């Protein structure tokens, strides 16, 4: 049985009533759940204790003109999946005001948001960090599971978690993909057959970079050459190879690195990444 709570008050009461020796595993999401989200919920379940899921399309992480209003939502479907995954509690706030009694307080992680999506989406990670910080304060989890699909988000949340002494442990989970390689994303729902086929250029480009890297190429300009053409008619936002830990763009790969990409297909912006381990 999944308990659904819609207010911060009800979430706090549920959490306060749990015996101190019972564990809580937390999976924050924006809903429209797919196998990527479910892999996090299953791992949370595997770790034992109570699984808490949040479903909240967080307005503060969307910029002007982005897709906040049309972001896909399917609460009934999500709750059915949550039940199947053994979720104990789903927090589905009635309205953003539940989590934002005011909009005066913000959590900002500096440096790590200077590149990649941080540069293309100003303010995005401030919104993400603020909401994740609020959720961790409320849920008080022993473990929080996040996907590597949002690689920069994971790195930034880890930094915030460490710097603010937030509760529990942060665990990163591998990217779940469709059989043809496209990373699962709620935003894939926006794609029609044509743009869905075009979007395969993303995993193909990452495969190409990984293959050249495996063959010994270490020069980033060479590894990334021809990316725009490879993505066309999609539009490349960025393809960068960054240091795995600091997210600093590299010119040459000498330690653990990530190739990270964002591209538009029509109005749909998709992201993906691949680890490059020398
Ligand atoms: P979202 O609902 O898009 O905010 O995602 C919620 C969580 O699910 C985040 O930690 C994401 O990184 C993770 N996630 C989304 N897509 C995938 C995927 N394809 N594989 C693994 N995790 C994912």
What pLDDT, in 10s, does the model give residues 86-106?
Answer: 999 999 999 999 999 999 999
CB-ligand 1 contact for 186 (6 Å cutoff): yes
Point out the catalytic residue in the list 34, 37, 124, 161. Answer: 37
Angle between helices 75-84 and 35-46 (to 10 degrees): 30
Q: What is the pLDDT of residues 50-71, one digit of tens each?
A: 999 999 999 999 999 999 999 9
Q: Which atom of ligand 1 is nearest to the CA of 148?
A: 12
Distance 37 CA to ligand 1 centre (A): 5
CB 256 within 8 A of CB 242: no
| Sign of CA pseudo-dihedral 259, 262, 263, 265 | positive
Q: Give residue-wise pLDDT tens across range 109-148.
A: 999 999 999 999 999 999 999 999 999 999 999 999 999 9
In whole angstroms, what is the distance from residue 19 CA to residue 74 CA?
Answer: 32
Give the model's pLDDT for residue 11.
Answer: 98
Phi/psi of residue 231, nearest 5 degrees: -90, -20
Q: What is the pLDDT of residues 139-179, one digit of tens each?
A: 999 999 999 999 999 999 999 999 999 999 999 999 999 99
The mean pLDDT value for 244-253 works out to: 96
- Within 8 A by CB and 6+ apart from 121, the residues are 63, 66
Which atom of ligand 1 lies nearest, measured to the CA of 175?
20
How buried is 102 (Cβ within 10 angstroms: 0-12 exposed, 13-18 middle, 19+ buried)?
Answer: exposed
Note if 161 is an active site residue.
no
Confidence of residue 278 (pLDDT cuts 50, 70, 90): confident
What Å distances lie between residue 111 and 86, 152, 204, CA to CA? 38, 12, 30
């Amino acid at each position: 049985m999944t308990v659904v709570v819609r207010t911060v008050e009800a979430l706090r009461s549920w959490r306060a009533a749990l015996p101190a020796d019972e564990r809580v595993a937390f999976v924050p999401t924006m809903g429209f759940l797919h196998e990527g989200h479910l892999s996090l919920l299953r791992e949370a379940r595997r770790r034992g204790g109570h699984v808490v899921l949040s479903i909240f399309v967080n307005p503060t992480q969307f910029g002007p003109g982005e897709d906040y209003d049309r972001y896909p939502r399917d609460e009934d479907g999500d709750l059915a999946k949550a039940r199947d995954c053994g979720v104990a509690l789903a927090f589905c706030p009635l309205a953003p005001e539940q989590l934002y009694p005011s909009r005066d307080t913000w959590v900002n992680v500096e440096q790590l948001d200077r590149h990649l999506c941080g540069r293309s989406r100003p303010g995005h990670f401030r919104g993400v960090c603020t909401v994740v910080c609020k959720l961790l304060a409320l849920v008080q989890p022993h473990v929080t599971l996040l996907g590597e699909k949002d690689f920069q988000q994971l790195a930034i949340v880890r930094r915030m978690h460490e710097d603010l002494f937030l509760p529990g442990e942060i665990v990163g989970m591998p990217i779940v993909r469709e059989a043809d390689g496209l990373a699962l994303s709620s935003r894939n729902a926006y794609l029609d057959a044509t743009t869905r086929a075009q979007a395969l250029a993303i995993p193909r480009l990452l495969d190409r970079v990984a293959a050249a890297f495996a063959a010994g190429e270490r020069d980033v300009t060479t590894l990334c050459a021809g990316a725009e053409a490879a993505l066309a008619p999609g539009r490349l936002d960025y393809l960068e190879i960054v240091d795995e830990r600091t997210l600093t763009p590299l010119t040459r790969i000498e330690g653990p690195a990530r190739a990270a990409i964002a591209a538009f297909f029509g109005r749909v912006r998709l992201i993906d990444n691949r680890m490059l381990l020398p």
